[in-house]
Structure 1
Amino acid sequence: MIFEQITTGGCQSYLVGCADTCAAVVIDPEKSQIDRYLALAMRHGLRIRYLLDTHTHADHFSASRQLARQLDAPLVMHRASPAPFVDMRLDDGEMLAVGRLRLQALHTPGHTMDSMCLIAEDRIFSGDTLLIGATGRSDLPSGDPEALYDSLFNHILHLDPALKVYPAHEYKGRSHSTIGQEITDNPRLQKRDRAEFVEMMRSLNLTMPTHITEALRTNMSGGKTVADLLSEAAERVPFMSLGELKSRVDAGDDELIILDIREREAYLTAHIPGARLLPRGQLELRVNQELPDPTRHILTCCELGLISTLAASTLRTMGYQRAVALDGGMKAWRAASYPVEHGPAQ
């Protein structure tokens, strides 16, 4: 077995390959590590044949769908996964053949309804069902502490104690454990009575993951993250520096239309001299009236330079091919002590 463990903060993902056939699977890939998975596969001479998520992640953005499209490889999850774009759905006890390697699926609901673990030779990829010194939480959407008890005490903990445990999360720098070590040392597994375990899980009172809504939305639907939208927009849009814009403002350049896309209150408080107000939410509906000449040079600005990037991209999509965005936004403009106007445009 060719094996690589990739750590991203507390998230753990794995490249597992067959040395004989050069076939590989990436388990729980994280979006920021796409290039790393590809580089590791190339270094080992592997072809990634499958992308697999052990469950629907709520705290980070899965790279499975993007890699599946990029590599023309199937995306694999448990049959209970709500994601409509899954290519191969595994049932409890079924195996995924990766060259001569066999990864056996074990349905382990509790953290989520679609959670599964994978047993491969001497190790188990335990997802968020069993962690090192802990278990996955059961208070997220589709979580169930009763089901988690059954998955742990009636299934996983009956496996070979020597099996190495490789979870989807680990926050203390440990690479792995064993089932035997977890049975002995894991404080949550000392609550062997069902009622006590369930009560403990319901009383954890953990904070919600930072990106839970966006992560669940994108991981379940295949939709785009805000970062995706911004990245795609930035690839299509040129930018103008603060210094270049100031020199044009100082020179009284009337060829450049400065379009402030913030809300009216922010615009009235302070805006770049000569800027017009056209809030982002009204852009598509008012663009023909406000910008009748699609050949004009247009600069969009907002507070931080993010929404203006999206707006400039939208304008280019609509035919305004000279639309650009201000690099840095009004916050950077004020920080540079560049001139501003107050109130409505003169």
Structure 2
Amino acid sequence: MIFEQIATGGCQSYLIGCNESSGAALIDPEISQIDHYIALAARDGLRIRYVIDTHTHADHFSATRQLARQLGVPVVMHRASSAPFVDMRIGDGEMIIVGKLRLHAIHTPGHTRDSMCLRVEDRLFTGDTLLIGATGRTDLPTGDPEALFDSLFHRILRLDADVKVFPAHDYKGRRNSTIGQELATNPRLQTRERAAFAEMMRNLDLSMPTHITEALRTNMSGGKSVAQLLAEAAARVPFMSLEELRARIQAAEDDLIVLDVREREAYESGHIPGARVLPRGQLELRVNQELPDPTRRVLTCCELGYVSTLAASTLREIGFLHTVALDGGMKAWREAGYPVKVGREPQ
């Protein structure tokens, strides 16, 4: 078996491949690592055949849907998943075949209703059901501490002690453990009575994941995160540096329209000299009035550079093909010591 473990902060993804067939499966991929996964597979001579999520993630953005579209392969999840984009729904005891490899699904509800572990030879990919020195939390949507107890003590902890445990998360740089090690040393597994275990889980008082609302929304629906929208917009837009824009203003060039897409109050508190204001929220409705000539070169700017990137992408999509975005925003412009004008520009 060809095996790659990819860490993204505390998130762990796994690329497993068959030496003979060169087929592979990718488990719990994270959105920022898409190019890395594809490069690893190419380096190892593998073709990814399946992208798999062990459960609906609440603490990172899954890459399964985007990778599935890009590679033309199915998204695999447990049949309890509500995500509409899942192509292959599998149940307890079923398996996925990748060349000579057999990926056996074990339904392990508790962290989420759709949680499953995958057994591949001597390895168990546990998602968030069993972590190194901990377990998955049960206070997120569809979590159930009694179900987690059953999944742990009646299912996966009955596997051989030397089975290697590879979780979907670890924030301490640990790569793997074993069933035996977790039974012996995992603090949460020392409570082996069902009611006491459930009580312990209900009183953990854990902080919520940073992006929980957005992560659940995108991972359950297949929608896009704000970061994805920004990345896609940035891929369609050229940029101009602060220094280049400053030089053009000093040279009094008049072939460039600087379009400030912040709200008027922010614009009037300080803007790039000569800039016009057209708030992003009104862009599509007022663009024909404000920018009647689509052949003009337009540079968008905002406070931090994010909204202006989205605005520039929108302008290009509707026909302003010479639009660019400022690399940075008014914050960077001010910090560079470049001139700022307060109030309105003369009409």
TM range, smaller chain: over 0.9
Percent identity between the aligned chains?
A: 74
Residue 300 of structure 1 aligns to a residue whose secondary structure is: strand
Distance (Å, rounded) in 2 between the aligned partners of 1:166 and 1:271? 52
Q: Which residue is equivalent to 1:103?
A: 103
Q: Which residue is equivalent to 1:212?
A: 212
Q: How many residues align?
A: 346
CA offsets 1:190-239 (integer angstroms, 9 cap, x no match): 11122211111111111111121222122122222222222221222222
Alignment of structure 1 residues 242-281 onto 2, 5 Å: 242-281=242-281
Distance (Å, rounded) in 2 between the aligned partners of 1:47 and 1:260? 46
Compute the displacement of 1:77 (Å). 0.5
Distance (Å, rounded) in 2 between the aligned partners of 1:2 and 1:300? 47
Q: Which residue is equivalent to 1:324?
A: 324
Compute the displacement of 1:247 (Å). 2.6
Compute the displacement of 1:41 (Å). 2.0
CA offsets 1:156-202 (integer angstroms, 9 cap, x no match): 12222221111111122222111121111111011112221111111
CA offsets 1:73-92 (integer angstroms, 9 cap, x no match): 11111001111111111111
Taking structure 2 as the reference length, the TM-score comes to 0.96
Distance (Å, rounded) in 1 between the aligned partners of 2:321 and 2:233? 14
Residue 272 of structure 1 aligns to a residue whose secondary structure is: coil
Alignment of structure 1 residues 142-291 onto 2, 5 Å: 142-291=142-291
Q: Which residue is equivalent to 1:28?
A: 28
Q: Which residue is equivalent to 1:44?
A: 44
Distance (Å, rounded) in 2 between the aligned partners of 1:184 and 1:77? 31
Q: Which residue is equivalent to 1:119?
A: 119
Q: Which residue is equivalent to 2:10?
A: 10
Q: Return the letter of the residue paired with 1:54.
A: T
CA offsets 1:257-294 (integer angstroms, 9 cap, x no match): 22111112211110111211111111111111111221
Distance (Å, rounded) in 1 between the aligned partners of 2:45 and 2:333? 49
Q: Which runs of 5+ in 1 are unaligned?
A: none
Q: Return the letter of the residue paired with 1:232.
A: E
Taking structure 1 as the reference length, the TM-score comes to 0.96
Pair 1:296-2:296 in alignment: yes
Distance (Å, rounded) in 1 between the aligned partners of 2:184 and 2:244? 65
Residue 309 of structure 2 aligns to a residue whose secondary structure is: helix
CA offsets 1:13-64 (integer angstroms, 9 cap, x no match): 1111122222211111122222222232223322211111101111111121
Q: Which residue is equivalent to 1:66?
A: 66
Distance (Å, rounded) in 1 between the aligned partners of 2:40 and 2:294? 47
Moved more, 107-116 or 146-155: 146-155
Compute the displacement of 1:250 (Å). 2.6
Distance (Å, rounded) in 1 between the aligned partners of 2:337 and 2:113? 54
Residue 245 of structure 2 aligns to a residue whose secondary structure is: helix
Residue 26 of structure 2 aligns to a residue whose secondary structure is: strand
Pair 1:305-2:334 in alignment: no
Q: Return the letter of the residue paired with 1:101.
A: L
Q: Which residue is equivalent to 1:88?
A: 88
